[in-house]
Amino acid sequence: MTDLKNDRFLRALLKEPVDVTPVWMMRQAGRYLPEYRASRANAGDFLSLCKNPEFACEVTLQPLERFPLDAAILFSDILTIPDAMGLGLYFETGEGPRFKKTVRTYAEADALPIPDVTSDLDYVMNAVKTIRAALSGRVPLIGFSGSPWTLATYMVEGGSSKDFRQIKRMIFSEPETAHVLLAKLADTVTAYLNAQIAAGAQAVQIFDTWGGVLSPQAYQEFSLNYMQRIVSGLTREHEGRRIPVILFTKNGGQWLERIAAAGADAVGLDWTTDIGDARQRIGDKVALQGNMDPSMLYASPERIRQEVADILKRYGHGSGHVFNLGHGIALDADPDHAKVFIEAVHELSSAYHQDPV
């Protein structure tokens, strides 16, 4: 890793020694930053921002100019794959992502084209290459995708959902349709992440945002099995180093042992799971990422530092912890409070990485 000036994020994911606990934030390039809002206005809209490699690079680097972060994450959207499958992604003000077409029948799932990720999603790979070059070894670059289950929820529901009625109807009344859809998505996600790695991503994360809405049995069948399939097909060595893989299921704390057995290097935690308990349960098998409640950034700087100190204490001594929020930073969070959070992680964690006297 000689080309990286700061590799503690990658080292922590592999449970190798670090000087301080590394930290990054999910959605760290986003609307809470005034410079991001300016870039988005210049691009015209969100999708134009995502599909222009220069703009994507610009906003990816913005939080690194403000904060001493230990990783950059590709600026993109989890719904690029369904869009490339021809479902017609668009965004409605105040409504979030929507699709012009849905997938609700076996015939529709069977007819879905599998995109060529290097051509149909070339703007993503061009963004990865552009960002990696601009970083010039400053910190590692994280690539990502949504999980097959999470992507399927949007494709079947037609957008965001509160009750996931349509996709749950599918998995319980027509499971074979769901499996056709999920298998296509798993194969595409595998190719998509491998293409990001080939383009320069140095770690990858699979976001299973909606896995936690399932029962234990359904989670195993319709979410985790497909993430495990992806992990088994990923490029794990590139440019002479290991490519760490992070699995993150929001509200998945009850299934940590199963997730840890899926083959990834790290498991992401939301704020509903105690990180000390998680380390006792699975910390000898994988690294852990998380897990401060994003809403804590509304608190005073003193309270934020107290929360950081508590999470570090609960994890305890040694490597294998990447500090993060338990989900994405809120769009109205104060950037100055984010800075307090990030600086506190570095300042307060050094004692946990010193050899005992």
29 labelled binding-site residue:
yes
* Residue of 7, 70, 77, 270 with catalytic role: 77
* Residue of 37, 40, 66, 236 with catalytic role: 40
38 labelled binding-site residue:
no
Is 123 one of the annotated active-site residues of the chain?
no
* Residue of 8, 11, 27, 241 with catalytic role: 27
What are the angstrom distances between the C-alpha of 112 and each of 70, 78, 326? 39, 18, 33
Is 37 one of the annotated active-site residues of the chain?
no
195 labelled binding-site residue:
no
Which of 258, 259, 252, 287 lies closest to 273, judged by CA? 252
153 labelled binding-site residue:
no
Is 138 one of the annotated active-site residues of the chain?
no
353 labelled binding-site residue:
no
28 labelled binding-site residue:
yes
Is 77 one of the annotated active-site residues of the chain?
yes
30 labelled binding-site residue:
yes
How far apart, in whole angstroms, are the C-alpha atoms of residue 21 and residue 149?
31
Dihedral, CA of residue 340, residue 346, residue 352 and residue 357, to nearest 10: -120
62 labelled binding-site residue:
no
Is 98 one of the annotated active-site residues of the chain?
no
196 labelled binding-site residue:
no
* Residue of 11, 70, 83, 154 with catalytic role: 154
Residues labelled catalytic: 27, 31, 40, 77, 154
- Going by the annotation, the residues of the binding site are 27-31, 77, 154, 209, 327
Binding residues for substrate: 27-31, 77, 154, 209, 327
